[in-house]
Amino acid sequence: MEPKLVFDYFSQINKVPRPSKKEEKIIAFLQGWAKEHGIDCKTDEAGNVLMSKGATPGMENKATVVFQGHMDMVCEKTSDRVIDFENDPIETYIDGDWMRAKGTTLGADDGIGVAIGMALLTDDKLEHGPIECLFTRDEETGLTGAFAIQPGFMTGKYLINLDSEDEGEIFIGCAGGANTEATLDVEMEALPAKYFPIRLSIDKLRGGHSGDDINKHRPNAIKLLARFLYEIQNKYDMRLVDFQGGNLHNAIPRQAEAIIAVPAADKENVRVDFNIFSSEIEEEYHDEASLHTLLESTTATECIKKEIADKFILALTAVDNGVYEMSIDLPGLVETSSNLASVHLVDKQIKIVTSQRSSINSQRKAMSASVSAALQLAGFKTVTADGYPGWKPNADSPLLKIAVEKYKELFGKEPKVRAIHAGLECGLFSQKYPGMDMISFGPTLRGVHSPDECLLIPTVEMVWKHIIAILKDIPNA
């Protein structure tokens, strides 16, 4: 696999646990690696790591270029995979032209970006001006590292973010976003006599990234299960015992389960209804080859008070999820969306996590308000975080012009220049470094934020060649 240096470093990175908010081991690894290779390295109070490399002879007058990726990864796994993400390595394998992981996320988002940066710092055959490589922490669950970056930590005039997922596409803008969380304390009561407890589950969906994949007809397991509960709530004297679904705020939920109870006389009717419902959603989402539904008997002695449970199911059914509006300025770009990310009943409290994204801040605020209102009607207390800013496109970017020209020279075709509905740290960098010229690109990834995550191996070499060509043509400072 080429470039060998990049894949060697990616292999090393995948041996180091790096869940979001628990990056201490990867920070220590990077610091030790820099010391071993004699590379200038500094770490700020937040844990962001910046490494620097001087220019090669004859290129000292070039402007400094920052290459940036985040060191943390989304830790998702299949239900049958046993792994401790805080201590165990990611196990990878090759599937034709794709690299995958055994039952977990691969970590190429954004481990491959970090590996490219490390290779740039150690490949002595390259011709380049001054280089800085910034490795940020906790991008996936709050952009904590990027929020904490202080003016002056970086010195580069140009920045190339290596956290995009479609080779041949250069990104010059991204959506801003915020999480809306809701909580509701619930009262439990004894399950009525002669009620039959049933466990319902929907799982093995593809899921995916709540920004980049929100418009790809990916079903949300929580919304599907809520849809069935709403249906039978209106047919039977149903009681809700438990509801659990989703995991990460930025992932489309792949699984959800509920425990309900109905009068024993209705249990077979519920089974028939669930079979019909399962057939309907399999037809609706026929491209979800692994979609799995299950109904089985279970045990329970208490349930949520009926009036609370009924309102909860109404709220899950009503709350916005998916694409809300498409951009009128950039065809094909999702402008505003919301993701119902997780629902968990723990210690007699229901907690719901959602995320809203938009290229327009006022639209994002309106979307968050809509989600809050639906949940407040059911009695939930809601809080919307401050969120993170979008990154306004600059079609006249000098760095963009260089990148487009070099891509055409290398591959004989025009790259696509576009904005992305997912969040990128560039929005925060643009606030701290308003004069910095930025673009984002990277190798092709699929299934990010899910165990289906995979990396298209040949595109890594294409990105590498593109970077080398850009570095040779960077203007003088």
> What's the pLDDT tens digit per position in 79-115?
899 999 999 999 999 999 999 999 999 999 999 999 9
pLDDT at 71 over 90: yes
pLDDT at 250: 87
User: Cβ atoms within 10 A of the Cβ of 265, count?
Assistant: 10
- What would you report as the CA-atom Rg of the chain, rounded to the nearest whole angstrom? 24
Q: What integer is the mean pLDDT of 249-269?
A: 96
pLDDT at 422: 84
Sheet of strand 158-161, all strands in order from the earlier edge strand to the far edge: 40-43, 49-53, 131-136, 65-70, 158-161, 437-440, 169-174, 416-420
Nearest alpha carbon to residue 432 among 26, 167, 159, 138: 159
Work out the percent of the chain whose per-residue pLDDT is above 70: 100
Calpha distance 228→97 (Å, rounded): 40
Residue-level length of the chain: 477
pLDDT at 424 over 90: no
pLDDT at 289 over 90: no
- Tens digits of residue pLDDT in 184-197: 999 999 999 999 99
Residue 331: asked if its preceding bond is cis (omega within 30°), the reply is no
* Residue 469 pLDDT class (50, 70, 90 cuts): very high
What 3-state class would DSSP assign to 258? strand
The conformation of residue 97, written as its DSSP 8-state character, comes to: T
Q: What integer is the mean pLDDT of 357-385?
A: 96
pLDDT at 387: 87
- On average, the pLDDT of the chain sits at 96
pLDDT at 451: 93
As separate numbers, helices (DSSP H) first and strands (DSSP E) second, the chain gives: 11, 23
- Tens digits of residue pLDDT in 157-174: 999 999 999 999 999 999
Q: What integer is the mean pLDDT of 209-218?
A: 92
- Whether the full predicted model's pTM is greater than 0.85, yes or no, is no
pLDDT at 239: 98
pLDDT at 449: 87
Supply angle C-alpha 236, 237, 243, rounded to 5: 95
Q: What integer is the mean pLDDT of 226-243?
A: 97
pLDDT at 120: 98
pLDDT at 142 over 90: no
Q: What integer is the mean pLDDT of 201-211?
A: 93
pLDDT at 453 over 90: yes
CB of 11 within 8 A of CB of 118?
no
Calpha distance 275→94 (Å, rounded): 38
CB of 246 within 8 A of CB of 74?
no
Nearest alpha carbon to residue 380 among 354, 405, 411: 354
292 has which bridge partners? 203
What 3-state class would DSSP assign to 239? strand
Q: What integer is the mean pLDDT of 392-421?
A: 94
pLDDT at 119 over 90: yes
The conformation of residue 17, written as its DSSP 8-state character, comes to: -
- What are the DSSP calls for 286-335, one per residue? TT-TT-EEEEEE---SEEE-HHHHHHHHHHHHHS--EEEEE-SSSTT-EE
* Residue 352 pLDDT class (50, 70, 90 cuts): very high
pLDDT at 328: 86
How is the chain split among helix, strand and coil, in percent rounded to 5? 30, 30, 40
* Residue 278 pLDDT class (50, 70, 90 cuts): very high
CB of 255 within 8 A of CB of 203?
yes
Catalytic residue numbers read 72, 139
Tell how strand 169-174 and strand 416-420 pair up: parallel
